[in-house]
Amino acid sequence: MSVTQHSWVVGFIGLGSMGAGMAHCLLRKGFPVHVYARRERTLEPFTAQGALTAPSPAALGAACDVVVLSLPDAPAVEAVLFGPDGLAQGLKPGTFVIDTSTIAATSAKEFGTRLAQHGIHFLDAPVSGGQAGAQAGTLACMIGGSANHIAAINDVLSAFCQTITHVGDLGAGQTVKACNQVAVAAAMLGVADALALARAQGVDPNIMRDVLLQGSARSFPMEKHAPRIIQESFEPGFRARLMRKDLRLALDTANASNITLAATPVIEHLLDTLCNDGRGDLDWCAVALEVGKTAGKAS
């Protein structure tokens, strides 16, 4: 199978469960890709596919036209950008940094402002679709920044995103991602409650799910996560500790905006209990185990 040759040289930092899939998509699409990771073993699957390695973020930045980040939180993004041998020391004016991490909108704006002083274009581009979507290249991206800049690097984003939506100025991508997590979390809480109620009343949860999928209760968590909850199959996926982090960002944003969210604090508390009990690396749908405890006590 032939692949298209691209003029952009792309760097990638953050080769975890999401980033690995995205980086492999770029390689499959024919982009020249440079990768950096602190552990050499992490790089092996990518060098086997043709990626080049860099000894530091600064060296990677100097070699690339576009750099994609997929990191766990704002401190990690800041360290990669501005720490010792950070990207900012190597990036050339006119370079693009696409941050697919989920961080606070305020952090995205700050990082963008600092990089702009050096002529570097920063785009906040959080993604949705999970590990499977990253591997398949079918993620949805909500992106904040200049429309012209987004158009310029559209082919890079298209390598791992099926849907790319410009949602506003820098920081808007992170705000929409927070809204996504809030909405998904509330739907998951409803699914967990429904499964607990069905079990408490002696109704087969599989039958209950089949019925609900035919009506207005149909949702992504009901369709994709309910079978895993019923089977107690919680291999990640998207880890509970990461969803807890995302919901805390949403709650911080809400507090800063002087609004009170209803369902989000409830599921954040349940996820916190799950994580504090040593189960933070389970898929986040394992939050249903905490919901189910009440039903178990009643049965």
Asked whether 66 and 36 are in contact (CB, 8 A), the reply is no
pLDDT digits (tens, 9 = 90+) for 210-256: 999 999 999 999 999 999 999 999 998 889 999 999 999 999 999 99
Residue 92 bears catalytic tag: no
Q: Which of 148, 169, 190 is the last residue of a domain?
A: 169
Q: How many whole angstroms separate alpha carbon 201 and alpha carbon 256?
A: 42
Asked whether 104 and 173 are in contact (CB, 8 A), the reply is no
Q: Is residue 91 part of a domain?
A: yes
Same domain, 147 and 219: no
Percent above pLDDT 90 for the chain = 91
Residue closest to 69 by CA, chosen among 26, 118, 11, 7: 11
Q: Determine which one of 109, 177, 224, 293 is catalytic.
A: 177
Number of domains in the chain: 2
CB within 8 Å of 276: residues ≥ 6 apart: none
pLDDT digits (tens, 9 = 90+) for 249-291: 999 999 999 999 999 999 999 999 999 999 999 999 999 999 9
Classify 119 as helix, strand or coil: coil
In the predicted structure, residue 297 carries a pLDDT above the cut 50: no
**Residue 231 belongs to what domain range?**
176-298
Same domain, 16 and 121: yes
Strands 127-128 and 139-144: antiparallel
